[in-house]
Amino acid sequence: MKKEEKTAAQGWALKFYTIFSGQVLSIFGSSLVQFALIWYLTQETGSATVLAMSTLAGILPETLLSPLAGTLADRWNRRAMMIVADLLVAFATILLAILFATNTIQIWHIYAILVFRSAAGIFHYSAMSASTAMLVPSEQLQRVSGFNQSLRAAINIIAPPTGALLLGFLPIQGILLIDVGTALMAILPLLFLSIPQPKRELDEQGHHKTSVLEDMKGGFAYIRSWPGLMAIIGMALVANFLLTPTGALMPLLVTKHFGLGALQFGLMDSTWAFGMVIGGILLGVWGGFQKKIITAMMGVIGIGLGILIVGLAPANMFWLAVAGMTLSGLMNPITNGPLSAIVQAEVKPEFQGRVMGTIMSLSTLMTPISLIVAGPVSDLLGIRTWYIVAGLVSLLMGVGAFFTPLIMNVEQERRQAEPLVALMADE
């Protein structure tokens, strides 16, 4: 190893965690905004349709724009991309605060701002996730991913009560301005710390040899040529379709099946997030198995088992459902942490953005559909039926993966990007 490479490797933690700390503050600010806006919509409209639309406003940009954002993260300066994305989020939040302060806010304003914030956020996420593999040594990626998910889960626990407390003595525009402050704090480290950039194929004039569309196609080709990853994405599509509605159906499960109220619903939500914190810390300290896919598939089995327990819990055993949700939350980082680490470790740096973006888009593709389908199906067959089927299918997929060489050997399927780019150019 060259001297400068050795020095960079030794100093990775200080640089990465300095940048990451700023991002955590920004995520906390965004969580406060999300809580404040959801509470405002609930108080003003009391409409489930309005709340569902606000959820879709946050999800759809991620699904539609992730491949483009990832492709641009491979072409543009990633540090600049994160700074601009944070500035755009801050600008949108200031605009929203002005609308609230002047009492001119309309519901459609909130939808529009949520779409804009989500779009800017996915460009930021693409740049940050693509940079992680170049900032963190490959052997540390699984630990870092675990700690990352643990912190995000902790924010989900802390932000709602903090938002509720702040709403007691601050107008909603005051909370929005807190988010502006945290966004600026996230930008600050990026002004002083460099982020390594992947090598790019440029012509004599310094222009990219391929177009944005060709690069996007190259990302799809990279994924198609990796059979094990395609199989895992297929699992993610099924799992997201089945598991996403379990959160949306939770209030009905608590009230209709267990005959309980808001306090118990809050407990279910909090224990899931608490489980995620513990799972993230566990993965961060333990580091997972050397073969990351084993850790991930154990997590899939655990999530399925937890949701199955929730669905099977009798009406007089609410504590059993709480235990199932805790197990499901704990296994979430155990699943997602290693899978992210596999992609970050195995994909070439110049393909990180577009591959991660495409995976996110494909994985969330079924989410809007599942939210539409789950309600009528649950009304027809019973709410518990959805949980039982979702848990059982996830558990069986996790077990089946251990007998599927295509999935278990995914880490050995390293891909060479250059022939794939050439292939797409020929097409």
The more confidently predicted of residues 363 and 25 is: 25
* Model pLDDT, residue 350: 74
For residue 239, give Cα distances in angstroms to 97, 300, 312, 332: 38, 9, 19, 12
Q: 208-427 has which fold?
A: Growth Hormone; Chain: A; (1.20.1250)
- 15: its two tokens: 């640089």
CA–CA–CA angle 280, 283, 288 (5° rounding): 155
* Model pLDDT, residue 205: 57
Give the range among 69-83, 191-205, 320-334 with minimum mean pLDDT: 191-205
DSSP conformational letter for 215? H
pLDDT tops 80 at residue 116: yes
Reported as a pLDDT band with limits 50, 70 and 90, residue 298 is very high
Contacts of 165 (CB under 8 A, 6+ apart): none
pTM for the structure as a whole: 0.72
Q: Around Cβ 48, how many Cβ atoms within 10 Å? A: 11
Contact 279, 314 (CB under 8 A): no
Burial label for 43, CB within 10 Å (0-12, 13-18, 19+), is exposed
- Domains 12-195 and 208-427 in one fold: yes
The gap from C-alpha 424 to its chain's centroid, in whole angstroms, comes to 29
Contact 310, 324 (CB under 8 A): yes
**Identity of the residue numbered 384:** R
CATH 1.20.1250.20 fits 12-195, yes or no: yes
Reported as a pLDDT band with limits 50, 70 and 90, residue 268 is confident
Average confidence (pLDDT) over 192-219: 72
Q: How far is it, in rounded angstroms, from Cα 304 to Cα 339?
A: 17
DSSP conformational letter for 208? B
pLDDT tops 50 at residue 216: yes
- 111: its two tokens: 């939808």
Q: Around Cβ 196, how many Cβ atoms within 10 Å? A: 13
For the chain, what are the domain ranges?
12-195, 208-427
Helix, strand, coil fractions of the chain, as percent rounded to 5? 85, 0, 15
- 306: its two tokens: 């937890």
Helix (H, G, I), strand (E, B) or coil at 260: coil
The gap from C-alpha 61 to its chain's centroid, in whole angstroms, comes to 13
Q: What percent of the chain has pLDDT over 90?
A: 22
208 beta partners = 202
Contact 33, 162 (CB under 8 A): no
- 48-97 confidence digits (pLDDT tens): 567 667 777 877 888 888 888 888 888 888 889 989 999 998 999 999 99
CA–CA–CA angle 307, 293, 230 (5° rounding): 85
Q: How far is it, in rounded angstroms, from Cα 9 to Cα 11?
A: 6
Phi, psi for residue 171 in degrees, rounded to 5: -70, 160
DSSP conformational letter for 201? -
Q: Which of 26, 181, 33 is nearest to 110 (CA)?
A: 33
